[in-house]
Amino acid sequence: MNKILQDLNQEQKSAVLFNDNHQIILAGAGSGKTRTLTHKIAYLCDQKVPGHSIVAITFTNKAANEMKDRIATLIGQSSGVLACTFHSLCNRILRTYYTKVNLESNFTIYDEKDQIKVIEKILENYPDSKYTSYKLKNDISFSKNNMKTPDSMMHILEDSSSLEFITLYQEYNEILAQNNSIDFDDLLLLTLDILEDNDIRTVLQEKYKYIFVDEFQDTNKPQFEIIRKLVGKKTKLCVVGDDNQSIYGWRGSDIDYLLNFNIYYPDCKVSKLEINYRSRPRIIQAAQNIIDLNINKTDKKLIPNRSDDKKRITIFKEPNEYEEASRIISEIRTLNTKHKYEDIAILYRTNIQSRVLEDLARRNNIPYRIVGGLNFYARKEIKDIISFLKLINNTKDNIALNRVINFPPKGFGKKSMEKLVNLADFNNNNTLFESCQEIHTNFYNNIITLKNNYKEHKTISILIKDIITTFKIREYWTDINENSDIDRNGNIMELINTLISLEETDSLELTNFLQDAALAASNKEDNKNCITLMTAHASKGLEYSVIFICGLMEGLFPLPVDTHKELEEERRLFYVALTRAKNKAYLTYSKRRYKYGQETYYYRSHFIEQIPSKYKELKR
């Protein structure tokens, strides 16, 4: 037997050996998807297919590099296969055919910061615009990902606000063109324009005889159209994906491309990888029960390969989020007698939920790391609030003053700051803050008022609410709308919720709280043996011996949804989270939690309800 085919199961081997036509490999969680894909490409190379005729498209540079390394290991030499991301492939095509889209050879690709600078310059000429720079950037990106140009949008003009957006969108594109520059969305769209040329399309179709696409369920419209144009009469297309792990609809991916692959390519071969090598049977069966509630899916199943250890999924029900987090941390201390910390992960739906878990882990001397985000007290919006508190507590703190004197932005720029410093130097006995009385009177008066009010009520949560109201911080973050994945106002409210809870049971001095916050913000866990905290989205592709999924209440996980399609994606996200567990899974929830400073009651998630009793147990 060919050594490349050794150690593959029958499903994997069958998928590797088929190369007669287009193919879709439906690969369940933990079924050896990456292994099958790399062995399939290595097998082609071993059969004397030139590596340069093969392109394997992934979604991250890390995945592309890992694929190249695995293939080289299997065939014993560099393969010559092009393993790259969609954007990297498009950049290659643009660097060759740039003249077709009116670019010069040295064109620049703008990152987000560059885009914001361009948009800020545009908005200077539209003082009455409803747009912030981040909101406009996001709307332009959304339009490009849906392949909507300013010209095409003019034909479906709805109202004056649509006309404003189209005008700004057009001006943005014109400035990029003047600067011989493009953004990352343009990499895809301009490549599509180039591929309209029959001669160029034919050259590329003849060059790439075999095209592989990993994580196909995550493709968006421009990416799918690029693949369609690269596939010629002699091209063999193989896509690999799992409809049950399609969790990025909110950023443009479309599961329908995977579900309808056999419509686009009627003669395709459908291969299935259904044997799960990762998880214990009861974890798989519970996950399958949830995903079976979905209608829009393939008929693939997960079949457990590991033996049943008879352990059921443990359910924790607690009165509030603090008791819930405390129960999780306590259980982890017990687990640590048999499991290393690095084998344990806590998953949650939103980044806001990490705060109470971080606090309790730190207090219990349990090392932790956060994947895909900053620790709670190191987040910008929290550091801003903490800086206000520091200044109120100590008006000589110039570091805190520098951070908040022009936050939210109110026209107090570098020149104003220079005047303030010069005035403080002139009046030797004055601090920078004292000098604000002359140069930045409103700011000075606001801080003094807040300071005096705090002396009366001695309640930090009220002080923060007063800061938010005085400086219109909630309105600022609402208008910015910089990233749909970051809820800055929500994080600030979570800080307030923390303080309300602490203040209910004990008096809390501002100085002591600031000391604790400083220690929390400086937590940088270098110890490899630490528990992992992350969102369910960030957990995709990872695995741990023990998984906790917390906050399983209706309205939190799943989040509130407007459509059945959105609900199905929430279920897929839970499926992804649960199938990260190899040996043990805990599902936890609380009856109530603070939301926007108010105690709110919740029903437990239907995810828990839909798991049959034989797979779960409530542990009191």
Structural contact between residues 381 and 393, judged by C-beta atoms closer than 8 angstroms = no
Determine, yes or no, domain membership for 279. Answer: no
Same domain? For 432 and 494 the reply is yes
Both 491 and 393 in one domain: the answer is yes
Residues 582-606: pLDDT tens digits? 999 999 999 988 776 678 899 999 9
Residue 507 has pLDDT above 80, yes or no: no
pLDDT band at residue 254 using 50, 70 and 90 as cut-offs: very high
The answer to whether 253 and 222 have CB atoms below 8 angstroms apart is no
pLDDT given for residue 167 in this prediction: 93
Percent of the chain residues past pLDDT 90, beyond the cut = 62
Is it the case that residue 209 has pLDDT exceeding 60? yes
The answer to the question of residue 591 being in a domain is: yes
Q: Which of the listed residues 494, 519, 544 is the one where a domain comes to its end?
A: 519
Asked whether residue 360 falls in the same domain as residue 386, the answer is: no
Q: Is the pLDDT of residue 247 over 60?
A: yes
Do 269 and 402 have their domain in common?
no
Summarize pLDDT for 210-236 with one digit per residue, the tens.
999 999 999 999 999 999 999 999 999
Per-residue pLDDT averaged across 37-43, rounded?
94
pLDDT at 416: 80
Residues 145, 148: Cα–Cα separation, whole Å = 8
61 and 204 both lie in a single domain: yes
Question: What number is the average pLDDT over the span 438-454?
Answer: 90
Backbone angles phi, psi at 559, to 5 degrees: -70, 160
Q: How far is CA 66 from CA 25, 42, 54, 58, 215, in A?
A: 20, 13, 16, 10, 15
Q: Which CATH number goes with the domain that contains 259?
A: 3.40.50.300
The predicted pLDDT at position 61 comes to 85
Least confident residue range of 11-20, 435-444, 524-533: 524-533
Mean pLDDT, to the nearest integer, of 396-424?
83
Return the closest-CA partner of residue 396 out of 359, 430, 349: 430
Residue scoring higher pLDDT (76 or 482): 76
Q: Is residue 100 domain-resident?
A: no
> Does 60 score more than 90 pLDDT?
no
Tens of pLDDT along 148-172? Answer: 999 888 877 666 668 889 999 999 9
Q: Does position 429 have pLDDT exceeding 80, yes or no? A: no
pLDDT score recorded for residue 375: 73
Q: Mean pLDDT across the stretch 68-97?
A: 90
The pTM of this model reads 0.83
Tell me the per-residue pLDDT of 85-95, one tens digit each, with 9 for 90 and over: 999 999 999 99
pLDDT for the residue numbered 548:
98
Q: Are 366 and 341 in contact (CB under 8 A)?
A: yes
Angle of helix 510-521 relative to helix 380-393, nearest 10 degrees, comes to: 150
> Domain of 416: which CATH number?
1.10.486.10
- 264 shares a domain with 298: no
Instruction: Determine the pLDDT at residue 1.
Output: 53
Residue 435's pLDDT is what? 84
Answer whether residue 208 is part of any domain: yes
Boundary of a domain, candidates 273, 303, 327? 273
In a domain, 61, yes or no: yes
CATH code assigned at 162:
1.10.10
Are residues 168 and 202 both part of a single domain? no
The boundaries of the domain holding residue 335 are 287-374+525-618
**Of 486, 519, 552, which one is at a domain's C-terminal end?**
519
The continuous run of DSSP H or E covering 582 comes out as strand 581-595
Which one, of 558, 586, 583, 561, lies nearest residue 572 by Cα?
Answer: 558
Instruction: Report pLDDT for 342.
Output: 95
pLDDT at residue number 402: 86
19 domain-assigned = yes
Structure confidence by residue, pLDDT tens digits, 101-134: 999 989 999 988 899 999 989 998 888 888 888 8
Say which residue the tokens 């992992």 belong to: 532
Catalytic site residues?
33-34, 214-215, 245, 580
Do both 595 and 558 map to the same domain?
A: yes
Compute the mean pLDDT over every residue in the chain, rounded to the nearest whole number: 90
Give 63's pLDDT tier (boundaries 50, 70, 90).
confident
Determine the 3-state secondary structure of 207 from DSSP: helix
- Please indicate, yes or no, if residue 184 is contained in any of the structural domains: no
Number of structural domains found in the chain: 4
Whether residues 265 and 121 share a domain: the answer is: no
**Percent of the chain surpassing pLDDT 70:** 96
Residues 262 and 291 in one domain: no
Q: What is the mean pLDDT of residues 341-362?
A: 92
Tell whether 510 and 533 lie within a shared domain. no
Residue 99 included in any domain: no
- Say yes or no: 438 and 500 in one domain: yes
User: Could you tell me which residues come within 8 angstroms of residue 139 by beta carbon, excluding any fewer than 6 positions away?
Assistant: 131, 165, 169
In this prediction, residue 504 has a pLDDT band, given cuts at 50, 70 and 90, of: confident
